[in-house]
Amino acid sequence: MPEKKKKKVAKKTCPQCGSTNVVYNRQSRDLVCNDCGLISPVE
């Protein structure tokens, strides 16, 4: 049977609004939500 690899953070989602319209800022190492504007730092 086909085995799907599931990563814990396969798809980044906004913890505030749940949107997947988030981008990763490599310079500041932050995730920025394009929907609500939330900026959350990534480990």
Residue 2 has phi, psi (to 5 degrees) of -65, 135
Q: Which of 20, 23, 29, 35 binds Zn ion (CB under 5 A)?
A: 35
Residue closer to Zn ion by CB (options 1, 9) is 9
Compare residues 16 and 25 and give the one whose CB is closer to Zn ion. Answer: 16
Distance CA 34, CA 13 (A): 11
Phi-psi region of 37 (alpha: psi -120 to 50; beta: other; left: phi over 0): left
Residue whose CB is less far from Zn ion, 5 or 30: 30
Which residues sit at the interface with Zn ion, rule CB under 5 A? 14, 16-17, 19, 33, 35-36, 38
